[in-house]
Structures are given as C-alpha cells and as structure tokens.
Amino acid sequence: MTHPASSATDKLADARQSRQAERQRAITEAVMAEGTVRIEDMASRFGISVMTVHRDLDELEARGLLRKSRGVASALSTSLVESSDVYRASRQLVEKDAIAHAALEFIEPGQAIFLDDSTTTLHLVPLLAAKTPLTIITNTLTIMNQLQGVRGITLLGVGGQYYNWCSAFMGRITTTTIAGMRADLAIMSTPAITDGQVFHQTLETVDVKHAMFDAASRRLLLADHTKFERRALHALLPLSDFDAVIVDTGIDRDTLRAMRDSSVNVVVARGQHVGRG
C-alpha cells in the first residue's frame, strides 16, 4: 500500500515538473519568436528568478534548442553556431515550400536519393509519395519518422552520433556508411553562401554533406534568398559544382546574375517575381 506522505510528495514532484516543462516551453517560444531575449527580461516576464532562467536555459541548450551567452538567450545562428532545427523549421516557410516543389521535378521513380538534415529538404518529404517507388537514404531522425511506413518508400537510415540541435546522426560512422553507397541524387541545403561558395558552421555537418555529394551521381542545392545574406566558418563546395541550385523569387537580381555568369545552373522556384535589385 502506498504511504500517504509518499503519494503527496510524488504529486508535488509531478506538479513541479509540469510547471517547469510549461515554463521552458514558454521560454523557448518567446526566444524563437524574438530571436534574442535578455535573461533579466525573461525573469521579469515570467515572474521567476534569474537563477531559475539560467537553469532552464542550461537544459534547453543541452537539448539543442537555444543558446545563452553574456546575459542573452538566442535562437539565431551565427558564423560559428547553427540554430536548432526547431527554430529553422519555422523560418521562410513559403520560400522553402516553393523550392521543394521545384526540387520534386528533378526526382524520378526508382531513384535512390540522399536527403540531408536541412529544414528546406524537410519540405520535400511530404511530396515524395508522388514519385514512388523511391529509396530514401538519410541521417535525419525527423525524416525517418515521417517516412517510416510510407507506401513505395524504401527507407535507409544512416546512424552515428546523435546531435540534438539538428535531430541528425553525424560523425565517422555516418560518413563511412554513406561512402559505401551510391545514389542517383543528393539533395541538401546550407545556412550560408558567400562569394559563390557553400559554407556551414559545423565541420561534422560539412563532412556528412560532402560524403553525400561524393556518393551521388547528381546533386541539388536548395537555398532560399536569406542564405546569401549569411556567413559561416567552414567551406563545403563551390555553387558551380552542383548540378542545379534552386532558389526562391526573393533572390537579389545581382546575386542571380552573378551566379549565372559563373556558370551556375540556377533554377528560380515559381513565384510572383524575382526580388530586390
């Protein structure tokens, strides 16, 4: 028989955990909506101590959702750190959807296709049923969960060390497994494009994308216009090495012209107009 005092303690602990989970969810939503929030402002907003905010942010940072630095909580990417997939999945939805529909035109039934951990590629996943049968090879847990059991899709999940911030497996196990395969097509995205070169903040991610690129016969890069406004540390490949680079209509005209002048095969996803410039 359960002791009454023990039962009461358990209920208090459950209530405390529930409040903490709800508070952390609210903190995450606030930071992702605003990009950055001062820790002192968060303490005032939620009526909790600064120390409690720090403890919550430590947990959220460990889960790859947010970062804290110098009194500020942030969901934004920097040249050294990529933002979480949860945050990125809420950005440029219209542009990513248009790019995904354009990418679908490059897919043919019967192909084997690498899909990376980008949230732009994730927009392509619900469209794949129209092109079955397909073999999809991915290191991304989110894609695995979405495609498991889908009729006509043979799913090959690539394991390795799991990274919370991108919901994906990376590392030597991942790249070695990919190197032992050959696919018809690799589809990937990137957080930053500078001077005609594709960049990423983390070397582990660069290694995985490079492995997919090398193991595929054809390669597509999906890049909404905001990628051309950002910088990152590690170079991946020149844009001209991809068989096609698919962009949205928000792309700057000068940027578009420069890519085409550099022999980059650029596809502008259907939209109302080409953007600025």
Token pair recorded at residue 60: 């959220």
pLDDT digits (tens, 9 = 90+) for 55-103: 888 887 776 667 777 788 777 565 545 555 555 565 678 999 999 999 9
The pTM assigned to this predicted structure is 0.74
- For the domain bounded by 4-76, which CATH number is listed? 1.10.10.10
Listed by start position, the domains of the chain span 4-76, 88-268
Q: What's 150-200 look like in SS3?
A: CCCEEEEECCCEEEHHHCEEECHHHHHHHHCCCEEEEEEECCEEECCEEEE
Which residue's entry shows tokens 């030597």?
Answer: 172
- For the domain bounded by 88-268, which CATH number is listed? 3.40.50.10470
pLDDT digits (tens, 9 = 90+) for 146-172: 999 999 999 999 999 999 888 899 999
Whole-angstrom distance, CA of residue 75 vs CA of residue 64: 10
Count CB neighbours of 224 within 10 A. Answer: 23
Give the DSSP per-residue string, 37-92: EEHHHHHHHHT--HHHHHHHHHHHHHTTS-EEETTEEE----SS-PPPHHHHTTSS
